Amino acid sequence: MSILVVGSVAFDSVETPFGQVEEVLGGSGTFFSASASFFTEVKLVAVVGEDFPPEHLEFLRQRKVDLAGLQTAPGRTFRWKGRYGFDLNEAHTLDTQLNVFESFSPRLPAGYEDSEFVFLANIDPELQLEVLQQVRHPRLIACDTMNFWISGKREALLRTLARVDALVINEAEVRQLAGEPGLVKAARAVLAMGPKTLIVKRGEYGVLMFTEHSTFAAPAFPLEEVFDPTGAGDTFAGGLIGHLAATRNLTEAGLRKAIVFGSVMASFTVEDFSLNRLRTVSWADIEARYRTVKLLTDFEGLD
């Protein structure tokens, strides 16, 4: 079962304590699509400029990503520049150039509107609403957002949240959105805004999932080296929604398993810059890390 994702395709320039890169492939839609494509087909809706190189398009096609919804507009592609210190959980934005993304209006090609699984990546909530007006009978709608939209486009964001099934954001964003310092109380406040499921990304500390009646915690895969966390959250979401779409299992057990697969996919992304690590990952690699994460939380088997 294919997934519709609407997000950004960009050039990233990133500096971490372990190196730096200039204008490499990035963007929320790109990381999500590459990750989800390990599980199912992906339909990507985004925009790039005339400067976008064909080799990046070829990479996405090789990953079986449908690019019928990828617009090419006159001008330059969206660019982001950031720096990380030794606290890799926090990015410091140095420069953002929206370029063609500034006037982006998502239009779904024929057939896209029937997508059963929809992911609204971190874009203007008004654009997210435009997408929701075009899809017909989605089985699952999930979305991401960020502090900029929470403070600057709150009313539009609340209208989006009233229509989504799952919200995937980080811990600081949960607290900001709810206006509550305590995470559990904040999570309950966010669920009251509309989403049936809240999935909280906590970087190296793992993931928390809140529903009306349950809470679930999953650890992050333990890594010896982390080079670049850019795109890790979008990669996580790609693994999560990809597994849900592939299995069509939206039960509590299905969500928990999908979260672990999402964490596994994110663990690969942070091992190198851009999407370099995802280019070399095999399904055997994914399964091996999934089994390792299961063992991390197995205490009954040791009795």
pLDDT in tens, 249-272: 999 999 999 999 999 999 999 999
Q: Is the pLDDT of residue 112 over 70?
A: yes
Q: Is the pLDDT of residue 1 over 80?
A: no
Pull the structure tokens for residue 76: 């330059």
Q: In what order do the strands lie in the sheet with 3-6?
A: 65-73, 42-49, 3-6, 117-120, 140-143, 166-170, 197-201, 207-211, 215-218
Q: What is the SS3 assignment for 303?
A: coil
Coarse DSSP helix, strand, coil percentages of the chain, rounded to the nearest 5 percent: 40, 25, 35
Position 303 confidence tier, pLDDT thresholds 50, 70, 90 = low
Long-range pairs, 248-255, Cβ under 8 A, ≥24: 248/1, 248/139, 250/139, 250/140, 252/211, 252/214, 252/216, 255/197, 255/209, 255/216
H or E segment to which residue 211 belongs:
strand 207-211
Indicate the range of 1-10, 238-247, 271-280, 291-300 predicted with least confidence: 291-300
| Amino acid 224: pLDDT | 86
Rounded-to-10 torsion of CA 293, 262, 34, 8:
-140
| Amino acid 87: pLDDT | 78
Q: Can you tell me the distance from the alpha carbon of 265 to that of 259, in angstroms, rounded to the nearest whole number?
A: 10
Q: Can you tell me the distance from the alpha carbon of 258 to that of 35, in angstroms, rounded to the nearest whole number?
A: 13
CATH class for the domain made up of 3-298: alpha beta
Closest Cα to residue 33, out of 119, 160, 140? Answer: 119
| Model confidence pLDDT, tens digit, residues 137-168 | 999 999 999 999 999 999 999 999 999 999 99
| Amino acid 280: pLDDT | 96
Q: Is the pLDDT of residue 299 over 80?
A: no
Q: Can you tell me the distance from the alpha carbon of 48 to that of 52, in angstroms, rounded to the nearest whole number?
A: 6
| Amino acid 301: pLDDT | 64
| Model confidence pLDDT, tens digit, residues 49-92 | 999 999 999 999 999 999 999 999 999 999 999 999 887 877 88
Percent of the chain having pLDDT more than 70? 99
Q: Is the pLDDT of residue 17 over 70?
A: yes
| Amino acid 169: pLDDT | 97
The reported pTM is 0.96
Residue corresponding to tokens 């539009």: 156
Query: What are the beta bridge partners of residue 96?
Result: 80
For residue 138, the number of C-alpha atoms closer than 13 Å in the C-beta half-sphere is 24
What single letter denotes the amino acid at residue 33?
A: S
